[in-house]
A and B are shown apart, each in its own frame.
Chain A
Amino acid sequence: MDILIAFITGLTTGGLSCLAVQGGLLASSVAHEVETSIAHGPKQQAWQTRALTARPILLFLAAKLVAYTVLGFLLGGLGSLLQLSLFTRALLQFAIGLYMIGTALRMFNVHPIFRYFAFEPPSAVTRYIRRRSKLGASVVTPLFLGALTVLIPCGVTQAMMVVAMGTGNPLAGAAILGAFVMGTSPVFFTVAFLATQLGSRLETRFMQFVAAVVLVLGFVAIDSGLNLMGSPYSFANLSQAWASPAPAQPSALSLVPTAPAARPTIQVPAVAITAIPPARPTVQAPADATRTVPPATRTLAAPATSIVSDPTQAPTVASPTSGNTILTINIIDSGYQPAVLQTEGGQPFQIKLVTDKTSGCSRAFVIPKLNIQKIMPATGTALLDIPSQPSGSELRFACSMGMYTGKIVFK
C-alpha cells in the first residue's frame, strides 16, 4: 500500500473513527488547559485562550505521531518475522468490525452494556498523569496521553497496523503508520479545537455523526473479513452476483439445461456426471441468444455454454485450449478487471496479473481458498500457477484488505 493511500485513509475515515475512540483522551488533555484558562478568567485575551487550547492539541498529536511511527517500525519488524495468514487477517477484521459497531452503539447510547467497548486507562496510569500535571508539568499530560493512544487504536488504525506488519519491513511499516496518523491529525485538530469553542450541544450532534460513520466502517470491516475468507455472502460479492449473473445464477435463460456442474452444491465425480441426463426439462432458447449442446453429448470436459444474455455483462471466458489456460486479470486502482472470469474446471491453469501504474491496495492480490498472497509492483506482470479446481465451483479473489473482490467460475 502506498504511503499516500495511508495518508488519505487517515484524512478521511481514519480521522473520524479514531476520534471516536481516542477523542476522550484528547479531550482530557485539552480540558486541563481550558480549565486553566477559565480559572484565569477575564484577565486573558481571546487569542491567548485559543493559543492555550491549541498547544495541548498540538502536543498530543505530535506525541501520537511519534508513538505510532515507532509502533509502525516495530510492527514492520515483527511482520518480517511473522507472516499473518489470510484467515488470521480475516478474524482480525471481524474483531475490528465488532469493536467498531460496539463503539458506535456505545456512542449512540443504545444500551449501557456497550460502555464495555470503551478503553479505560488503568487508575495507576491516570493517577500518575494527574500527579505529574499537578506538579506544573502541563506539557507532560498531552504528550503522555498522545503516546497512550497507541494502547487504544481505533478500527481503521488497527487495519493500518496490519498493513504495516504486512510490509515486512520496519521502515515501510513506520512510513505507513506515520503517514496515516499524519492524515488523521488535521481532523483531530479541527474537531478538538472547534469542540472547545462550539459548546456541548453541537459537540453531541457531531459525535452522533461520528458514531454513524463508525457504525458503517464497522460493517465495512466485517465485510472485508468475509471477503478475506472468500465468502460469497459479503456485500461486495452479493452485489457482484446480482449485477452480473454468473452461469451458476438462475436467469431467464438458465432454464436451458446446462452442464450439471452449473449447480455448485452438487459435487459428483466427473465420470458419473457424464452418464447422468439433466434433471430438468430442456427448454430451447432462441438460437441467437444462446447456443446449446444436446444433453446426451455433453460432458463435464466439454466447454459449457454461455447463458449470459447481455453481452456487456458477459464474464471473461478463458481460451479453451487445455493445459495452458492463462486468465489475465488487470489490476487497477479501483479493483480488478474483469472481476468475473470463467474457465474450464478440472485442469490446472495460470493467472496473469497485470499492473500498470497501479497504486491502490488492489495490488495486494489474495486468493483466500488457496492461501495465495501476491503483492504486485506498481507496474508489472506475474504468473500464478493455480491447481485444478472442480467444475461448478468458484474461486474468489480479493485485495489483502478485502475491499475489492472478484471470482473465477469453473464450468
Chain B
Amino acid sequence: MIVKQVFRVLNMYCSTCPMRLEAIEDELPGIKRVKASYAKEQMIVEYEETIVTEAQIRTAVEEKGYGLELKTI
C-alpha cells in the first residue's frame, strides 16, 4: 500500500537542500515521490510500505546530514 507521510526536516540550511533530499527518490527502492520544501522545512514522501520502512527513510535522510521528525497533519 502506498503511504503518504509528512516529515519536518531539521538542519535544512539552504534553498537547494530539497534537491538533495529529493534524491532519495532514486536511492531507495519503494519511494514513489519526494517533495521537499526549504521554506516549510518539510518533506512529503510517498512510499510503498511493503518495500521500504519509515526507519529506512529516516536513515537515508540522516546520512545526508538532516534530521527528521514525523509531522502530524
Q: Within 8 Å CB of B25, what residues of A?
A: 127
Among A25, A31, A118, A127, point to the contact of B38 (Cβ < 8 A): A118
Q: A28-B19, A28-B20, A134-B26 given as contacts; is B14 within 8 A of A116 (CB)?
A: no
CB of A115 closer than 8 Å to a CB of B: yes
- CB within 8 Å of A: which of B18-73? 18-20, 22-23, 25-26, 35, 37-41
Question: Are A112 and B20 within 8 A (Cβ)?
Answer: no
Question: Are B22 and A115 within 8 A (Cβ)?
Answer: no
Among B16, B20, B35, B40, point to the contact of A121 (Cβ < 8 A): B16
Question: Are A118 and B39 within 8 A (Cβ)?
Answer: yes
With both chains docked as a complex, state the minimum distance between the C-beta of A30 and any C-beta of chain B, in angstroms: 11
Among B20, B26, B38, point to the contact of A115 (Cβ < 8 A): B38
Question: Are B14 and A130 within 8 A (Cβ)?
Answer: no
Question: Are A130 and B22 within 8 A (Cβ)?
Answer: yes
Question: Are B15 and A119 within 8 A (Cβ)?
Answer: yes
Question: Are A120 and B15 within 8 A (Cβ)?
Answer: yes
Q: Within 8 Å CB of A112, what residues of B?
A: 39, 41
Please classify the interface of chain A as helix (H, G, I), strand (E, B), loop, or mixed, using the class held by over half of its residues.
Answer: helix
Bound CA span A23–B13, Å: 12
CB of A24 closer than 8 Å to a CB of B: yes
Question: Are B35 and A123 within 8 A (Cβ)?
Answer: yes
Question: Are B14 and A115 within 8 A (Cβ)?
Answer: no
Encode contact with B along A99-143: 1 for CB under 8 Å, 0 otherwise.
000000000000010011011110100110111001000000000
**Size band of the interface chain A makes with B:** 20 to 34
- CB within 8 Å of B: which of A125-164? 126-127, 129-131, 134
CB of A74 closer than 8 Å to a CB of B: no
Question: Are A126 and B38 within 8 A (Cβ)?
Answer: no
CB of A27 closer than 8 Å to a CB of B: yes
Bound CA span A121–B35, Å: 12
Interface size on B, residues (CB 8 A): 17
Among B15, B22, B37, B39, point to the contact of A24 (Cβ < 8 A): B15
Question: Are A23 and B38 within 8 A (Cβ)?
Answer: no
- CB within 8 Å of B: which of A19-60? 23-25, 27-28, 31
Q: Within 8 Å CB of A121, what residues of B?
A: 16, 19
With both chains docked as a complex, state the minimum distance between the C-beta of B14 and any C-beta of chain A, in angstroms: 4
Q: Within 8 Å CB of A27, what residues of B?
A: 14, 16
Among B15, B26, B41, point to the contact of A130 (Cβ < 8 A): B26
Bound CA span A312–B66, Å: 63
Question: Are B26 and A118 within 8 A (Cβ)?
Answer: no
Bound CA span A28–B36, Å: 15
Q: Within 8 Å CB of B18, what residues of A?
A: 120, 123, 126
Q: Within 8 Å CB of B14, what residues of A?
A: 23-24, 27, 118
Q: Within 8 Å CB of A126, what residues of B?
A: 18-19, 22
Q: A27-B14, A27-B16, A126-B19 given as contacts; is B37 within 8 A of A120 (CB)?
A: yes
Q: Name 27 interchain pairs, CB-CB below 8 A, sorted by A.
A: A23-B14, A24-B14, A24-B15, A24-B16, A24-B17, A25-B16, A27-B14, A28-B19, A31-B20, A112-B39, A112-B41, A115-B39, A118-B14, A118-B15, A120-B16, A120-B18, A120-B37, A121-B16, A123-B18, A123-B22, A123-B35, A126-B19, A127-B25, A130-B19, A130-B22, A130-B23, A130-B26
Of all A-B residue pairs in the complex, the 6 with the closest CB atoms, nearest first, are A118-B15, A24-B16, A24-B14, A28-B16, A115-B39, A126-B19
